[in-house]
A and B are shown apart, each in its own frame.
Chain A
Amino acid sequence: MAEADGSSRPFAGLSDVSISEDIPVEGDISMPTISSSQDDGFSTLDEPVKDTVLRDLKAVGNKFVHVLYPKKSKALLRDWDLWGPLLLCVTLALLLQGGSVDSKDDGGPQFAEVFVIIWFGSVIITLNSKLLGGTISFFQSLCVLGYCIMPLTVAMVVCRIVLLGSSGTVSFAVRLVVVSASFGWSTFASTAFLADSQPQNRKALVVYPVFLFYFVIGWMILTFAPAQ
């Protein structure tokens, strides 16, 4: 190995250098962010059930507020959920029960009919909007249409309260005004969210089915005849 002189060998002096253990080694070891989200996942598993339920309820309530004051906000569209529409649909269908005495034949809509009309109607309107070239996604549109039934559900509650009092012409006039106002509100709220996703020359083609949908629901509410 050491056949030549030490001076002609390259790096000759380096063999004398030794690294002592006293030199501190510094640096950062940064973990990737995956572990931080895993921490979050673990934390929502650990949280009490009340927190989980309240978080979802807050999201639903937030969307109800958005329907009450329809501005062009993206919150309703971005975080869609179908809890609110389900709640409203079931409430409306239950309130439409208890109609005429012999409701098996000529009476009002059955629970299943209301359910089918609302959900099937929403699906058809969504398909129509997508076939016309809309940019909104399927469940987002279902979410918007379902949440905008809220004014009509409120009108149904008001109608039932009015019908508890009297069922004459005055009550009919009151109910007509209430249902018309809520129908207009529903249509306006849903078009505020849905019409943006369509090109300009097709907006009316998308708005008309929504109008028809809420009109039919309003008709079902208005013609609710209580049992005598």
Chain B
Amino acid sequence: MDNTDELKFQDFEEVSHLLSLDPNATTVAVSGSPASLSGEEDVKLDLTEDEEGLEISKLLGGTPTGGFWTFEYYKSFFNVETVQVMDRVKGSVMPIPGRNFIKHYLRSKPDLYGPFWICVTLVFSVAISGNLSTFLSQVGDQTYHYRPQFHRVTIAAVVIFMYAWLVPLCAWGFLTWRKGAEGQMGGYTFLETVCVYGYSLFIFIPTSLLWIIPLEWLRWLLILVSTVVSGSVLVFTFLPVVRDHTKLTATATLVTILILHSLLAIGCKMYFFQTAVHMTAPQTTTQFMMTTQVTQQEHRQGASLVLPAT
């Protein structure tokens, strides 16, 4: 601009012309969306190292401070009190139709404490109860030699943690994709999805303890009850989001969620709570039984014999 023009009366069309040239300039805007855009542009000025953190924070939906590699970022996900955790656990066992778990209990303060420790407890309760039930089912069998079966803990851990993280990721991804395709708001963040899945697994902890009782019909009844309860928590949570989709997609989504949940329950029950006597291959078991029977007979006779070489 010329210096001589400065004292002249400036035309406002120049200003609007300038704005049209550079729409991202910092302006005092009245409307909503341009301000947010300019706000992001302002943030990007010199905080480029937090850019990734902001995008990750959009993924997780919290209001964290700092990038995702700092400790304070994760501290914001553990900002719960004992009372809140107990409330959320109670809400996961008593699903009331119309009461959305996320909106009612989480209230935009999802936490990672509940899902993580519920998964850990579930891993150990399933492994320990499975071990106990195997022991109880063979308590009268003389040839049975108790084994701790510690490798089951590893398998249970892998299965349960994969379920607790991958399935919410798929569910959240699918729902966000549908939400983006239809251009509506109101979806859940990834962290809230992980949270509701983690808390819905809580009912399986007492179920796994009750699975020790060696009544087959009781076990199936327990599977039914627990799947219905935790499945309905999930269904009531996802119903408002899915309601706007077509009926086919909505029912397909909810049915898939339920099927995956029941597959987890049935899979746990079938693998960890087998009532079959021989779990290893039949040949090695009979060999082992023969050697132990020979050993026991020798002990009874009080003679020391050389065991046959196997």
Chain A positions within 8 Å of B, measured between CB atoms, are 99-100, 102, 105-110, 113, 128, 130-133, 201-205, 208-209, 212, 215-216, 219-220, 223-225, 228
Q: Which residues in B have their C-beta under 8 angstroms from that of A209?
A: 117, 120
- Name the contact of A100 in the complex, choosing from B74, B145, B151, B279 (C-beta under 8 A): B145
Q: Which residues in B have their C-beta under 8 angstroms from that of A106?
A: 147-149, 151, 279-280
Q: Known: A205-B113, A212-B124. Is A107-B81 also a contact (CB below 8 A)?
A: no
Q: Known: A223-B131, A225-B146. Is A132-B113 also a contact (CB below 8 A)?
A: yes
Q: Flag if B124 contacts A216 (CB, 8 Å).
A: yes
Q: Flag if A225 contacts B147 (CB, 8 Å).
A: yes
Q: Closest approach, in angstroms, between the C-beta of A132 and any C-beta of chain B?
A: 5
Interface residue count for B (Cβ, 8 Å)? 29
Q: Which residues in B have their C-beta under 8 angstroms from that of A130?
A: 71
- Name the contact of A107 in the complex, choosing from B75, B147, B295 (C-beta under 8 A): B147
CA distance A131 to B73 in the complex (A): 10
CA distance A208 to B120 in the complex (A): 12
CB-defined interface of B270-289 with A at 8 Å, one 1/0 digit per residue? Answer: 00000000011000000010
| 12 A-B pairs in the complex with CB atoms less than 8 angstroms apart | A100-B145, A102-B288, A105-B280, A128-B78, A128-B117, A131-B75, A133-B78, A201-B82, A201-B83, A205-B80, A219-B128, A228-B295
19 more contacts with CB within 8 A, not counting A109-B150, A131-B77, A131-B113, are A100-B145, A102-B288, A105-B151, A106-B148, A106-B149, A113-B150, A130-B71, A131-B74, A133-B78, A203-B82, A204-B82, A205-B80, A205-B82, A209-B120, A216-B124, A223-B146, A223-B148, A225-B147, A228-B145
Asked if B38 lies at the interface with its beta carbon under 8 angstroms from chain A, I say no
How many A-B contacts at CB < 8 Å in the complex? Answer: 73
Q: Flag if A100 contacts B117 (CB, 8 Å).
A: no
Q: Which residues in A have their C-beta under 8 angstroms from that of B120?
A: 209, 212
CA distance A102 to B147 in the complex (A): 10
Q: Closest approach, in angstroms, between the C-beta of B95 and any C-beta of chain A?
A: 24
CB-defined interface of B213-242 with A at 8 Å, one 1/0 digit per residue? Answer: 000000000000000000000000000000
Q: Which residues in A have their C-beta under 8 angstroms from that of B75?
A: 131, 133
CA distance A228 to B146 in the complex (A): 11
CA distance A209 to B82 in the complex (A): 13
Q: Flag if B117 contacts A201 (CB, 8 Å).
A: no
Q: Which residues in B have their C-beta under 8 angstroms from that of A202?
A: 80-82
Q: Which residues in A have their C-beta under 8 angstroms from that of B253?
A: none
Asked if B256 lies at the interface with its beta carbon under 8 angstroms from chain A, I say no
In the complex, chain B residues 85-118 whose Cβ is within 8 Å of any chain A Cβ: 85, 113, 117
Q: Which residues in A have their C-beta under 8 angstroms from that of B80?
A: 202, 205
Q: Flag if A228 contacts B113 (CB, 8 Å).
A: no
Q: Flag if B113 contacts A107 (CB, 8 Å).
A: no
Asked if B292 lies at the interface with its beta carbon under 8 angstroms from chain A, I say yes
Q: Which residues in A have their C-beta under 8 angstroms from that of B71?
A: 130-131
Q: Which residues in B have their C-beta under 8 angstroms from that of A110?
A: 150
CA distance A104 to B280 in the complex (A): 13
Q: Flag if B292 contacts A228 (CB, 8 Å).
A: yes
Q: Which residues in A have their C-beta under 8 angstroms from that of B150?
A: 107-110, 113, 220
Asked if B121 lies at the interface with its beta carbon under 8 angstroms from chain A, I say yes
Q: Closest approach, in angstroms, between the C-beta of A225 and any C-beta of chain B?
A: 5
Q: Closest approach, in angstroms, between the C-beta of A93 and any C-beta of chain B?
A: 13
Q: Known: A131-B74, A201-B82, A228-B292. Is A208-B117 also a contact (CB below 8 A)?
A: yes
Q: Which residues in A have their C-beta under 8 angstroms from that of B280?
A: 105-106
CB-defined interface of B117-136 with A at 8 Å, one 1/0 digit per residue? Answer: 10011001000100100000
Q: Known: A106-B147, A216-B124, A219-B128. Is A128-B82 also a contact (CB below 8 A)?
A: no
CA distance A51 to B150 in the complex (A): 43
Q: Which residues in B have their C-beta under 8 angstroms from that of A219?
A: 124, 128
Q: Which residues in B have their C-beta under 8 angstroms from that of A109?
A: 148, 150
CA distance A107 to B274 in the complex (A): 17
Select from chain B the residue with minimum beta-carbon distance to A133: B75
Q: Flag if B78 contacts A132 (CB, 8 Å).
A: yes
CA distance A93 to B113 in the complex (A): 29
Q: Flag if A100 contacts B147 (CB, 8 Å).
A: yes
CA distance A128 to B295 in the complex (A): 50
Q: Which residues in A have their C-beta under 8 angstroms from that of B146?
A: 223, 225
Select from chain A the residue with minimum beta-carbon distance to B135: A223
Q: Which residues in B have their C-beta under 8 angstroms from that of A133?
A: 75, 78
- Name the contact of B85 in the complex, choosing from A107, A205, A215, A225 (C-beta under 8 A): A205
